[in-house]
Structure 1
Amino acid sequence: MSALEFVSTVRATRTGLTDLLSDVQGMTAWGREHAAELGVDPDFTASEELRSEVVELRQAVRALFARAVAPGAASDADAHRLPDFAESLDLVNAAALAVPSAPRLEWPAGQAPRARTVPGVAATESERIRATLATSAIELLAGPRREQIRVCPAPRCVLYFLKEHPRQEWCSLGCGNRARAARHYRQHRDG
């Protein structure tokens, strides 16, 4: 599971912010879409408690991403909704530690052996999901790619992205086009 995919469950649309995890149905659909990465059954069904815990973790990860892009500004569209940095750091670490994992060797008949990461302790579905998401965020934020994390500066965009090219400024071509159009409009309106 990509930490960027997780934090991108909040995005801007023409009508405002859209939260893919705003209700149990959205959380269920997103969980099913990412069932393999999250280690849940394809017929996964979220509860309100699980959804609330995952959204709280997402906001904490977004706060850590905001810190990672510092001294640049966090996303203007949701910076005011992000929790405190220290609280966010504690929450992410606690979520990852709640379900220690270990490699497990599997050797199916007639196939090559493979390692699979499995929970080292019994855990609830919510704990397993949050541990997976928190671990993904920790790996990105503690790894060499952290330096590539950027916040999209396009109007109303709330997405974080990895800067893959030296000239890349936006999360997508669409955001780049909107930013250029907004700049063009301001120049002609003010000039």
Structure 2
Amino acid sequence: MTLGECIYIVDDNEMTSQSLAFFCESLGYETKVWNDPEEFLETYPTLDKIGCIVLDVRMPKKNGLEVFAELKEQKNKLPVIFLTGHGEVRMAVHALKDGAFDFLLKSPEEKELIDVIERALRLSSDLKFKDDQMAYDQKRFDSLTEREKDVVVLVGKGMMNKNIADVLQISEKTVQQHRGSACRKLNLINAVEIADFLRKLKGNQR
């Protein structure tokens, strides 16, 4: 368990949601409960902790699949675990194919519930680490001057300093200065590391 993890429970049945929250809290996790899915969707943008969403499939105002679709529109990265009855398994399987993390039949065995939640929280933590690294890499790149960026991009394409100087119409010595300054800011050593850094940065921006 990691400090700051939270299990977000969305279930219109107050007894079921409170029972699940009590069980999760007994394991040391923080929980937040919504019995109204629309209220949850209104609150969702303010959620600021890694965790997972436990989402009931059948709810009167807005069913779990509709909530899940809206979460996807908001670029949700929290793993979603569906709670489903026997007659809703096909719906849950469809949600899995659409990106849900897993589904549990009501009422799940304690061991099964713990296993799914722990896996979902590990994924959430991994995604948060990746997002933080992406933001850090972008910040490092943004710290470069425009000319340093020009040089770095051309280095990443495998060009030698002399060729870069010709393309940018500056001296080779100036290219070396910009390249050295950029490498210090990016904490990179050679062209291979620069190319790898730019490749990851480009992939993160898709």
Considering Cα pairs closer than 8 Å and 6+ residues apart, tell me whether 1 or 2 has the greater RCO.
1
Query: TM-score if structure 1 supplies the norm length?
Result: 0.25
The structure where helix makes up a greater share of residues is: 2
